A and B are shown apart, each in its own frame.
Chain A
């Protein structure tokens, strides 16, 4: 067991454990004791060292005032946590939707906790034990929620353990934005579990926008029932340690999932994305597009697994990871994995370190755009392609702004573009 973990768990042992989750917490704690702490030899953590957790001194948060920057033109239900504490009002006026704090939830949430997130995530177990910040959202049958729910977490030090539990009822529809930000050295585990009932629809966004001093591990996990539909978008900036696990379980038939991820890394950041899709039932569809631009000496890790079980006939699954490396020292470790045990399925996967399309470059230049500017446009276009197709236009514009801000730091590294 690592020193970090010992210290982290000490918080639990010394705290009052009579809450509604105590049984589940105890179980995970036991499991954690029986689980080896990841090292470089652990396949799932091969490229992402955890030593920073031991080495980095993390000061207590200063609890500065924080206001979530609004997304212009987008009406959202905003729920804001600062250093793990709720600082906004919890709304209770959406018909058919209940939102409560994790800490105040009752038995109804019991069957959502640790029901979607797979048990093998070590930090997930830590989160089970320590989770204190987060909300439980339950959408009743057939309720179409027009206003997206935006869950903002901001942290400027210390440790926090975030857990959101979301159930989208039969035929209901919801959009959730998970937004994580932070300054200064900090540690956080950030997990969300989503249960989609039959015919439910979820638009999901996860934005990991920490600065480079954060050490964050987390994931978003989804159970898809019959004919449910998930559209998930992940935006990741790297950090000292930034690891996200996306798990999608096709528990029902005819479910559909699209998962698009974009990462944009600079400095010595690490961003590690693991996605795992389980097709246990027939007629499911999964499409994953993951694109990244890696500059400076940053490192991206992508591991995308699609597991098609024996009975999951007529599955359609596609996984594609493309990367642009801007410098000689930028690094990407990508591994798509298909495991197929059914014989009537259509699957494709690919992972590339891409180069710019020379035809596109010629086309832009033939209209008078300089080669440098054309290269910049095409590099941004490479990631923007996954953003521009999102359904909420104000969100698209806001995201493009966030990405451009960071992209502008990197543009001088684009091969063929001279430093200005």
Chain B
């Protein structure tokens, strides 16, 4: 009856330099589910994505994480991507001199190689990339430009979604993909995500605001505070948070952390 988890994170502890950020985080996501993670600044929301993707400087000190049965924490950054993990960055980096098109084709080919497929032909890839551009409302000329070079904040976020469309990951973590976006760009991002929901692919939507969740309907909402998930619920929890903020949760938690943790499960 219970379906196997796509992503399973257990007791994840991680530190940056000497500061422990994640303090025993548990999260289980089944295929096709959308989970929202909300929480106050500094709670560790972005850290979760960085740790799962393998960013240097984020040291795992405890716990485990598997994606579709693959032990994520043991493998290199690029292997995690090829295993089906995709992190849409809050602040995508600009890489002048490396063309978007060349980068994207290398990414797609690396994924194909991992699946035992031949590299995609340039012609076919260009067609797909143009299609993906169109879907996120980016002019095709962006493919020729340097990776994120001179892109506006909104263009960078849409470029992330475009990459997601091309790489077709199993699990997408959207790290504040709504920050700095106007309502039109927000809809573009949301439509990109929704177009990829197929009952198998799962999403983790990290956000501060309920607003994005109006467009991407979560199955579950979690509150991350001080390195742990302190409350979980359905979509209505996000509305409650919007109305009341986080303080009632963080206070309640310090009063009875064990009880809170049970509620999460």
Contacts and interface: CB of A to CB of B under 8 A. Distances in A.
A297 interface: no
A53 interface: no
A380 interface: yes
Given A367-B107, A368-B167, A378 B81 contact: no
Contact of B103 (A377, A383, A388): A377
B93 A359 contact: yes
A358 interface: yes
B169 to A, nearest CB: 9
Nearest to A362: B55
Nearest to B91: A359
Contacts of B53: 366
A385 interface: yes
Contacts of A388: 96-97, 99, 146
Contact of A373 (B82, B106, B146, B147): B106
A363 B94 CA distance: 9
A335 B106 CA distance: 37
B125 interface: no
Contacts of B96: 381, 385, 388
A382 B97 contact: yes
A377 B99 CA distance: 9
17 contacts: A357-B95, A360-B93, A362-B55, A364-B95, A367-B163, A367-B167, A368-B78, A368-B111, A368-B114, A368-B167, A369-B107, A370-B110, A377-B98, A378-B98, A382-B97, A383-B97, A386-B97
Interface string A263-289: 000000000000000000000000000
A363 B113 CA distance: 19
A1 to B, nearest CB: 46
B95 A378 contact: yes
Interface of B: 53-56, 76-78, 80-82, 87, 89, 92-93, 95-99, 102-104, 106-107, 110-111, 114, 146-147, 163, 167
Given A368-B82, A369-B110, A363 B163 contact: no
A380 B110 CA distance: 19
A386 to B, nearest CB: 8
A280 B167 CA distance: 55
Interface residues of A, number: 26
Interface string A134-174: 00000000000000000000000000000000000000000
Contacts of A377: 98, 102-103, 106
B87 A366 contact: yes
Contacts of A360: 93, 95, 98
Interface of A: 357-360, 362-371, 373-374, 377-378, 380-386, 388
Contacts of B93: 357, 359-360, 362-363
Nearest to B163: A367
Contacts of A383: 97
A111 B101 CA distance: 49
Nearest to B55: A362
B106 A369 contact: yes
Interface centre among B54, B87, B95, B104 (most CB of A within 10 A): B95
A251 B151 CA distance: 37
Contact of A368 (B89, B92, B107): B107
Contacts of A364: 95, 98, 103, 106-107
A381 B107 contact: no
Given A377-B102, A381-B146, A385-B146, A366 B97 contact: no
B110 A368 contact: yes
Nearest to A358: B56
A384 B98 contact: yes
Contacts of A367: 78, 81, 103-104, 107, 110, 163, 167
A13 B217 CA distance: 88
A381 to B, nearest CB: 3
B119 to A, nearest CB: 12
